[in-house]
Amino acid sequence: MHAPTGLLCDLLARPELTTIANLAPTFGWILNSENKADRQTAYQVLVASTGESLRNHVGDAWDTDKLIGNDSINLPYTGSPLQTGATYFWSVRVWGIDDTPSPWSASQRFTIATDASPQATSHYPVVPHRFTAEEVTGVSSYHHFIDFGKHAFGWLEVTLDSPEETTVEVRLGEHAENQRVDLNPGGTIRSAKSELKLKAGRHQYRIETEPDKRNTEDPLAVQLPLEFGVVMPFRYVEIIGHPGPIAREDIVQVRLEYPFDATTSSFTSSEPDLDEVWAFCKYSIRATTFCGVYVDGDRERIPYEADAFINQLGHYAVDREFTLARRTHEYLMAKPTWPTEWLQHSVMLAWADYEATGDSRTLARHYDQLRTEKILFKFERSDGLLNTEGQKDIVDWPADERDNFDFRPINTVVNAFHCHTLNLMSRIATTLGHTIGAADFEATATRATESFNRVCFNPETGLYRDGEDSAHESFHASLFPLALGLVPDEVKEGVVEYLKSRGMACSVYAAQYLLDGLFSSGAADHAVSLLKSREERSWYNMLTNGATITWEAWDNRFKPNQDWNHAWGAAPANLIPRHILGVQPLEPGYGRVRIAPQPGPLTELHGVVPTIRGTIKVDAVLGEDGTWQLDTEVPIGVTAEIITP
């Protein structure tokens, strides 16, 4: 065995950037060996109060000695009580199948927060990063147009030379035409104008812009630390009235982001349009972390459960990062939002957290609240279905994307989520050792699913009604049951063919579920065609219109007040790794995985997918003889079930 790498302290890869909020943090590492069949047979963890002690291999806070076992993630601290405000150092070594110890890992430093507790979630602060302009164009001698190449949340800093005191006008925004920032872009596309007073000589300035009251004064909006000042999304800048040239390095976009490692994931294929869509969505996940929890965009800066779920899946797929998703889930447990299905998404957020990390702490912490507040038993009738008449069922958003859905007291979409979350609660209860609760949830899920297919499915048409006694069969009434695994095998083909016939007849939110259902039902050809489509309802349409962060809707036509910075539109960030590359866990924490690529019409795939145990690599090439060559690489100690296309 080589020295372990990829150390995690309380799920943080860089704990030195923050403080550890939990008094009993967990530890994890990635195994390394030239022998791909190697595995960990034992380990030793040291935690020391000084770097010198650790260098001398003295764990004065905790020394596990050599422990037999293959644990390499979520190892709980059980040493001497850690002191709040104190700094510690830790490292690990492991033994492989030859029973020879590896070298010690590099050390990792962490500090216990002054307000640490046994029930807290550690997380990073958001951090400013400086990016110089990609292009500066002198439109005229007193007029410069600047393009940073990416939309980002932050502020503008400029360093300008002036022979005398003067005033220049600075414009910045998300939309530009003909080398002019659009100051009236419509909707909630952002722009700002500022008068900057220059002093004589060369000086650096921060451009001050007005705050937006809706996302700074609304009590539901997430507030940024005051020291950051006003933060807004922008890509383009104009400087009007500056009497001289402006160098590219003198114009800086200060981007506010949660720590992000862009090197942990990659994707390329035989279809350049699809590659662009993946990169576009990956950056969207990164750029929208600026609040320290997932928010719905700049208009409101409010976390919503469904938005957070799509963000969460995408973030796991493009970075080995778990704390932002967990923090957002726990935020929403304390501050739930209004749509019926969004409450149900909290169960999905909790299970996705456990599936990615194998760490059950947040499940245990919130189990009672999940089963009493997020499983909506108060609306249940005798057959197990929910009657949500008078509640705020949403189906899809914006409202015009609902395919004329007929809202009924027994709502097909709401009840599809109900059946799904009952199944998840059975798994959660099993994980936590609640045997009776698990059996009860399983029985309830079986009864509800049987009632669901009896009441909501129309055997005459082979499709799902919008609700009980409804004569309308919307796109959504069939796409959600398919995605959530409720459609019986004997009628699945008809449901899939109907969905294929309608194209992308839903919003960017429901597209997550539509494509999940299509891929899971063997309709990869159609799913890939939608992912790389250039139609109006497509990710490439956003790119064609200059987007570098996904939008809230497919186009302004569908939502005139839409955000141009909304990561619930970034579903391909998770759909491509999970389905096209085919990497999915067979057990929480990725100790066992399935790699089953679904290339559809593609002829070549190459990708790297991060997991808590290390990266999974997939290379698939279609040969001239029509057979696929599939090469995969999984972390040491991970068992893979591999299925060639």
pLDDT tens-digit series, residues 214-236: 999 999 999 999 999 999 999 99
Is the pLDDT at 148 greater than 90? The verdict is yes
pLDDT of residue 195: 97
CATH of the domain at 83: 2.60.40.10
From 257, 277, 301, give the residue that closes a domain. 257
Residues 157 and 244 in one domain: yes
Is the pLDDT at 477 greater than 90? The verdict is yes
- Interval 608-614 mean pLDDT: 98
Q: Is residue 175 part of a domain?
A: yes
DSSP one-letter string for 4-23: PEEEEETTBS-GGGS-EEES
Q: Is residue 22 part of a domain?
A: yes
pLDDT of residue 456: 98
pLDDT digits (tens, 9 = 90+) for 547-591: 999 999 999 999 999 999 999 999 999 999 999 999 999 999 999
How far, in Å, are 212, 413, 418 from residue 421 at the CA level? 37, 12, 5
Residues 88 and 147 in one domain: no
Return all residues near 319 (Cβ < 8 A) that are at least 6 apart.
260, 261, 262, 264, 265, 285, 286, 610
Residues 80 and 11 in one domain: yes
Q: Is residue 337 part of a domain?
A: no
Residues 91 and 110 in one domain: yes
CATH of the domain at 229: 2.60.120.260
State whether residue 457 is helix, strand or coil: strand
Residues 84 and 205 in one domain: no
How far is 413 from 493, CA to CA, in rounded Å? 20
Residues 252 and 170 in one domain: yes
pLDDT of residue 312: 98
pLDDT digits (tens, 9 = 90+) for 305-349: 999 999 999 999 999 999 999 999 999 999 999 999 999 999 999
Is the pLDDT at 486 greater than 90? The verdict is yes
Residues 244 and 132 in one domain: yes
Q: Is residue 237 part of a domain?
A: yes
How far is 291 from 270, CA to CA, in rounded Å? 36
Residues 148 and 224 in one domain: yes
Q: Is residue 583 part of a domain?
A: no
Q: Is residue 97 part of a domain?
A: yes
- Interval 7-11 mean pLDDT: 98
| Cβ atoms of 492 and 457 closer than 8 Å | no
pLDDT tier, 530 (very low <50, low <70, confident <90, very high otherwise): very high
- Interval 15-38 mean pLDDT: 96
pLDDT of residue 243: 85
Residue type present at position 264? T
pLDDT tier, 95 (very low <50, low <70, confident <90, very high otherwise): very high
| Cβ atoms of 594 and 582 closer than 8 Å | yes
Number of domains observed in the structure of the chain: 2
Residues 19 and 86 in one domain: yes
Q: Considering only CA atoms, which of 501, 505, 472 is closest in space to residue 405?
A: 472
pLDDT of residue 519: 98
| Cβ atoms of 116 and 98 closer than 8 Å | no
From 229, 257, 285, give the residue that closes a domain. 257
Q: For residue 390, how many other CB atoms are within 10 A of its CB?
A: 8
The reply to whether the predicted model has a pTM over 0.75 is yes
Percentage of residues in the chain having pLDDT higher than 70 = 100
Residues 39 and 149 in one domain: no
| Cβ atoms of 269 and 602 closer than 8 Å | yes
Is the pLDDT at 180 greater than 90? The verdict is yes
Q: Is residue 521 part of a domain?
A: no
Residues 13 and 72 in one domain: yes
How far, in Å, are 30, 103, 595 from residue 582 at the CA level? 22, 34, 5
**Domain span including residue 21:** 5-117
As given in the structure block, the two tokens for residue 66 are 């050599």
pLDDT digits (tens, 9 = 90+) for 232-273: 999 999 999 998 899 999 999 999 999 999 999 999 999 999
pLDDT digits (tens, 9 = 90+) for 115-143: 999 989 999 999 999 999 999 999 998 99
Is the preceding peptide bond at 398 cis, omega within 30 degrees of 0? Answer: yes
Burial of 272 (0-12, 13-18, 19+ CB in 10 A): exposed
Q: In 319-411, which ranges are continuous DSSP H helix?
A: 323-334, 340-357, 361-369
- Interval 70-98 mean pLDDT: 97
pLDDT digits (tens, 9 = 90+) for 414-469: 999 999 999 999 999 999 999 999 999 999 999 999 999 999 999 999 999 999 99
Q: Is residue 580 part of a domain?
A: no
Residues 185 and 243 in one domain: yes
From 66, 83, 117, give the residue that closes a domain. 117
State whether residue 425 is helix, strand or coil: helix
